[in-house]
Amino acid sequence: MDILSQIVADTVETIKKRKQTLSLNDLQARAGASSHPHHSLKAKVAADPKPHIIAEFKRKSPSRPNINMNADPVAVAQTYEAGGASAMSVLTEPDYFAGAPEDLQAVRRAVAMPLLRKDFVVDPYQLFEAKAWGADLVLLIARILEPAQLAELNAAAQELGLETLCEVHNREELAVVGTTPVDFLGVNCRDLKKFSTNLDQLIDIVDDLPDHAVWVAESGIGGREDVARLEAVGYRAFLVGEHLMRNTDPGAEIGNLRGNPA
């Protein structure tokens, strides 16, 4: 079993345990009672032609066991927001990425920018969790979903008022998306089975990307030159994690990635 399949299998078991602790009906009630105002990344992108940085909080990953294990999500979030990030991605997967629901909840209380719950979503239950925890967007990974399942989760998320970022790695996964009206189409140049990156992957696929979605470049972004190169072929937003988490001045680097004068 490859690492992605193992993560998904473990996620399914985690969801079963959470449902035993908090029923779907009770979770739906919490999500419905959520008082968090919606912060739209789509609106931000539509209003500003400059590149948009989705800055990620990530302590570790299967390929990087210690990116920044002691990082404080609130302090990082405030730095990202002050630096001009358009949104923030928060990992909530505990075992492989050292994420937690509490990270997302704490960040929601601290900042006003749109928040993406980044996890391995395979069950509508997770959408209600995202809503209850204060997320504005959710990640849907095409590689781990069937076409009908992706369409169902996308519709359910949007009905809850959540924007959707659907992630693909290649044309085969893009076919899973089909005509599903996702809000953002992310191309991850990291192979989730091997966890290697290839920035050319982001360019090779652009002719097949749907016009209805905002294109997001994911992984492998190492500086302003990468952003400019990808912006030139149509990407509007850039999900940047490890590069910022290891940077000594991530706020300034966000400005640099956006092309702001030094």
Among 60, 86, 93, 118, the one annotated catalytic: 118
Among 167, 173, 242, 253, the one annotated catalytic: 167
167 flagged as catalytic: yes
Among 218, 231, 242, 253, the one annotated catalytic: 218
Classify residue 170 as exposed, middle or buried by CB count within 10 Å of its CB (0-12, 13-18, 19+). Answer: middle
In angstroms, rounded to a whole number, what is the distance separating the alpha carbons of residues 42 and 48? Answer: 10
Among 58, 89, 129, 131, the one annotated catalytic: 58
Residue matched to tokens 């032609």: 49
Residue matched to tokens 């590689």: 143
81 flagged as catalytic: no
58 flagged as catalytic: yes
Query: Can you list the alpha helix ranges (DSSP code H) found in 33-142?
Result: 41-47, 73-83, 94-97, 101-110, 124-133
70 flagged as catalytic: no
219 flagged as catalytic: yes
193 flagged as catalytic: no
56 flagged as catalytic: yes
Classify residue 17 as exposed, middle or buried by CB count within 10 Å of its CB (0-12, 13-18, 19+). Answer: exposed
Among 61, 89, 154, 188, the one annotated catalytic: 188
Among 219, 231, 242, 256, the one annotated catalytic: 219
Catalytic residue positions, numbered: 56, 58, 118, 167, 188, 218-219
